[in-house]
Amino acid sequence: MKILIVGDVVGRSGRDAVAKHLPALRETLDLDFVVVNGENAAHGFGITETICKDLYALGADVITTGNHVWDQREIMNYIGGDDRLLRPLNFPAGTPGKGAGVFETKDGRRVMVVHAMCRLFMDPLDDPFAGVDEALGNHRLGAGGGRGSVDAVLVDLHGEASSEKMAMAHFLDGRVSAVVGTHTHVPTADAQVLTGGTAYQTDLGMTGDYDSVIGMQKETATARFTTKLPQGRLEPAEGEATFCALYLETDDATGLAARAEPVRLGGRLAPAMPG
């Protein structure tokens, strides 16, 4: 199976990059499934129903989020009715929406997407390791080989600390197709397949303008550090975005990763495409 997981989309610049690159990538890479992290898609803060529908129309199959999921208040009434929009599963019981789901590709294969949030330097949510472990309890990888219930399992781990993300990857190695980090908005150079067959990248990076401070206009963001005085509202940078993602190929029988390579297109970062 051929899969693309897209890093945090930031503001209009990021949305424009998705519109420019994702439909073409679905065709040229012959993609079976696409996950997009959209937690910063609405002017840098949260996501809306309209943006969700736009991302689906552009080729996203599932949208993940993160700590900014509730920034646009309207999403609280919408998320419960959209099974393809996930919030981190380790929010307390009773939180609207869900953090995991099983979705079908056009040819009938089953892909499980699990979304969790780290705790180091983040909100004190429930244990993400226990939450992901529980979510996987009823679903075993390897449906193509007749040994499981799903053909692929993708984990979006939204967090600050690289150590916590790496620990999760090793905790799940051999049980899921991929563990990818989101949230820091900086792409890491460690895309790899672990010894047990799970693809991993500490952070996908953002799909946003890199002439910025993690996607926000650099003048206001820098002034907050240099003056320690109240500044204006952070606004998304609006230059050309770099589209950042991880391309993943899984083994049809086992569901484990056979290949994992970064994708970077447009904007300021050096381009990268699967060889």
Domain count, the chain: 1
CA distance 258 to 93: 36
Residues 6+ apart with CB under 8 A from 71: 42, 45, 46
82 in a domain, yes or no? yes
Asked if residue 240 is part of any domain, the answer here is yes
What is the per-residue pLDDT for 225?
92
The band of 228, judged by pLDDT with boundaries at 50, 70 and 90, is confident
Give yes or no: 170 in active site.
no
Q: Which domain holds residue 15?
A: 2-265
CATH of the domain at 232: 3.60.21.10
Determine, yes or no, domain membership for 274.
Answer: no
Angstrom distance (rounded) from CA 61 to CA 57: 9
In this predicted model, what pLDDT tens digit does every residue of 206-227 receive, in sequence order?
Answer: 999 999 999 999 999 999 999 9
Confidence (pLDDT) at 146: 85
Q: Of 21, 68, 115, 185, which residue is the catalytic one?
A: 68
Average pLDDT over residues 2-24: 98
Within a domain: residue 151?
A: yes
Distance (Å, rounded) from C-alpha 259 to C-alpha 192?
Answer: 8
Condensed to tens digits (0 to 9), the pLDDT of residues 91-146 reads: 999 999 999 999 999 999 999 999 999 999 999 999 999 999 999 998 999 988 88
In a domain, 10, yes or no: yes
SS3 state of residue 219: helix
Residue 272 lies in a domain: no
H and E: helices and strands count for the chain: 6, 11
Residue 229 clears pLDDT 90, i.e. is over it: no
Residue pLDDT, tens place only, 26-75: 999 999 999 999 999 999 999 999 999 999 999 999 999 999 999 999 99
What residues have CB less than 8 Å from 216, skipping those under 6 apart? Answer: 44, 234, 235, 236, 237
Could you read off the pLDDT of 256-265 as tens digits, one per residue?
999 999 999 9
- The answer to whether position 119 is within a domain reads yes
